Structure 1
C-alpha cells in the first residue's frame, strides 16, 4: 500500500475544501484542490492526476504548504517583478526626465530637435564618445514624440471666442430644433478650395534607392471647389466653379438647397415651404457675409469666429480631393475638372472615412 503523504495541520479537511471552492484564482484553486485530496488520504500521484498537474509540481506544492502554510499556496506570479533585461539604458531616470524638459525648448543650436541632435545631447550628458543617431530617434519616441507638421494657426485667432463657439454650438442646434419641432434640422459646413495648373507636390511611397520625379510647369489658371459636408453622416456635395464671388455663391447655395432636398416635396406641391432646415456654417470671408448673397429659404447661415480655420471640418475634404492631382501634370484646366468630377462623385461613397475626418469631438449636438 502506498505511503500516505505528510500534510501539516495548518488547516482542517473542511477548511481546505472551503479554500478550494472559494478561490477566484485558477492556479490557487488547483493547489487547494490538491491539498484537500491529500487531506482525504489520497496519494500524491493520484491527487496530481485528479487535478491535472505532474507529480514533481504536486510535491513542491505540498512542501511549500507544510513549510509556510497558506502563504505557500499563493500564486506569486500575479505580482510584477522587475527583472533586468537587455542592456543598461543610455539614460537613467533622472537624465531621461531632464531630456523631456529639454525637448520642450529649442536645441542648443537654436534649430529644431532631430534624432541626431538628441544623440549629441545624450553624448554630452553621459560622457559617452559615440551615440548612434538612431538612439536619439528612439528616445524621441520614448518621450512620446512623433514627427508632425504643425497645423497653421492665424496670429489673430481668438482662443476665447473659439472656445465659446465650440461650447455654444450644440445649444444653437438645440434652439433651432426647438424653433422647428416638426421639421428636420441638418448641420452642414461649407468652404471653398482652389486648385489649378500649378502642380501639387507631395511625398509618396517609392522603392528605396529610387528618387521619384514629377513633371511640373508652373501656370496660374485656377478652378474652385465649393464643398459642403455633413460631419454627422459624412455626406458631401461639391461644385466646380470658375471663380469665387457673391454671385457664384448665390447660385451654389440655390443648387445646394435643391440637392440636399430642402424643397423636394414642396416643389411637387407647388409650395415654397421648406421640407427641412439647414444650419450652414461658413468662415468669415467678406464675400460670404455680403448682403448681395441670396440665401435660399430653409438655410440658416452661422459664421465661425474670425481667423479660425481649425474649426472648419470642410477643410478636411481638400486633402482627399487633391489626391488624384498630386504629382501629376495637366495641360489644361479642363483635364483637372474632368479628374475632379470623378473624384467628387467618389467622395459621396466615402461617408465612413469622411465622417471620421470631419466629425470633431466638440460637435456634440446628437
Structure 2
C-alpha cells in the first residue's frame, strides 16, 4: 500500500526549484519523483521518472516524511573493515619508498606480486595482486621512471642548497647590485644528434611498437636557460660545448634579463662553466650547484620535456637538420611561457 506524503512544508514547485540547486544528482532525482507524487502522478510513473522501483520510492517517501529534503541523500555505508590496519599501511608506505633489498627480497624493484608476498609474510593478510595495486594507488603511489643518481651524490649538500639558497645568492652578489630585483635563471646544455632518443607511444597492449632511430653520430648542443618567474628563456644552438660557446650563451642570457634586474644563473660544475677564460656579463652572477646533483637543476626537466615531445623518434640527415629541429623545439617552448613556469618553478629558489 503506498505511503502518503505527510510533509507539506514544500510544494512540488519548491521541490523542483531546490532540485535545480543541489549538487547531488541522486538527491535531485528523488526530489523530482516526490514532486510528481505531490502533483498527483501515479506511483509507477513517478518511480520510473526517478529511475527507481515503486518499493524504492516508498522507502524514500518514508525518509522524506521523517527528515525532509535532507533525508533524500545517500547515507555513508560502513562497508567491510579494511584488511590492513593503519599501522600496516604505514609500514607498507615505508617499505615501498625504501625499495626492496635484493639480498632479502630477491628483486631490484617492487612488483605487486612481490608486495603481495611481503604482506602475507609480515602482516599475515592474504590479498590479491589487484587489491595490492588498488591500495598502492590509494596511498599515493604510481609507477614512475627512476632517474639516475651518482653514487658520490652528497645528499647533505643538496639539502643545504635548497634550505640556504637565498643566503647563498646574497653572499655571491656583488655590492653594486644590492637592492636590485633579482631574476633566477637555470642553465644547462643538451646534446641532440642523429643517434637520437626514443619515447613512449600509444600502442596495442601486448605489442612492441617500433620507431626510427639513426646509427650515425653527428650532433649539436642546445645551450638553454630559463627564468621560471617570468616564463622566458634564452638559448643558442652550438656545434660544441666549450668555453667560447658558454661565453656566447651568457651574453644571450644577459640580453634577455630585464633592464631593472640582475640575473643569478644557476648551473652545474661543467669545466666550461668555471673556466678562467669565461666572460660573465655585468648583469649576471653565476651560482654553481653541488656535483652529481642534476635533480636540483630544472633545466634537466626542460630537456626531458623537449626530448619526449619535440626531439624523439626523429631522423636527421644533416647537421643543418639537427639545428633546425633544435631551434623549432626551443621556439615552441618559448611560445608557451606558462609551460616554462610550470616545469621549472622551484619553491626553494623563490627569492620574493
Q: TM over 0.5: same fold?
A: yes
- The question of whether the paired residues in 1 share the 8 Å contact of 2:243 and 2:273 is answered with yes
1:236 CA drift (Å): 1.1
Quick one: structure 1 residues 310 and 94, their matched pair in 2 at CA, closer, same or farther if it must change by over 3 Å? closer
| Deviating 4+ runs (over 6 angstroms) | 54-59, 75-78
Q: Does 1:295 align with 2:295?
A: no
SS in 2 for 1:145: coil
Distance 2:144 2:294 in 1: 19
Distance 1:148 1:231 in 2: 25
Residue of 144, 149, 156 corresponding to 1:148: 144
2:182 counterpart residue number: 185
Task: Give the number of aligned pairs.
Answer: 284
- The question of whether the paired residues in 1 share the 8 Å contact of 2:311 and 2:329 is answered with no
Quick one: structure 1 residues 162 and 179, their matched pair in 2 at CA, closer, same or farther if it must change by over 3 Å? farther
SS in 2 for 1:297: coil
Quick one: structure 1 residues 295 and 138, their matched pair in 2 at CA, closer, same or farther if it must change by over 3 Å? same
Distance 1:59 1:250 in 2: 80
Distance 1:88 1:347 in 2: 50
1:62-82, Cα deviation, whole Å (9 max, x unpaired): xxxxxxxxxxxxx9999xx97
Relative to the length of structure 2, the TM-score reads 0.68
Identify the range of structure 1 (98-107 vs 320-329) with the bigger mean alpha-carbon deviation: 98-107
1:223 counterpart residue number: 220
SS in 2 for 1:300: strand
Distance 1:184 1:142 in 2: 44
1:293 CA drift (Å): 1.0
Distance 2:178 2:99 in 1: 54
Rg (Cα) greater in structure: 1
Identify the range of structure 1 (172-181 vs 279-288) with the bigger mean alpha-carbon deviation: 172-181
Relative to the length of structure 1, the TM-score reads 0.65
**Unpaired stretches in structure 1, ≥5 consecutive residues:** 1-53, 62-74, 263-274
1:74-107, Cα deviation, whole Å (9 max, x unpaired): x9999xx97442x665546666566456544527
2:164 counterpart residue number: 168
Distance 1:102 1:165 in 2: 28
Quick one: structure 1 residues 206 and 299, their matched pair in 2 at CA, closer, same or farther if it must change by over 3 Å? same
SS in 1 for 2:105: coil
1:245-324 equivalences in 2 (<5 Å): 245-260=242-257, 276-322=261-307, 323-324=309-310
- The question of whether the paired residues in 1 share the 8 Å contact of 2:235 and 2:249 is answered with no
2:8 counterpart residue number: none
Distance 1:55 1:261 in 2: 68
1:176-214, Cα deviation, whole Å (9 max, x unpaired): 497436755322121111111113112122344654211
2:109 counterpart residue number: 112
- The question of whether the paired residues in 2 share the 8 Å contact of 1:234 and 1:358 is answered with no
Quick one: structure 1 residues 95 and 332, their matched pair in 2 at CA, closer, same or farther if it must change by over 3 Å? same
Residue of 242, 245, 255 corresponding to 2:239: 242
1:136 counterpart residue number: 132
Q: CA RMSD, aligned part only?
A: 3.6
Distance 1:155 1:143 in 2: 29
SS in 1 for 2:292: coil
- The question of whether the paired residues in 2 share the 8 Å contact of 1:116 and 1:137 is answered with no
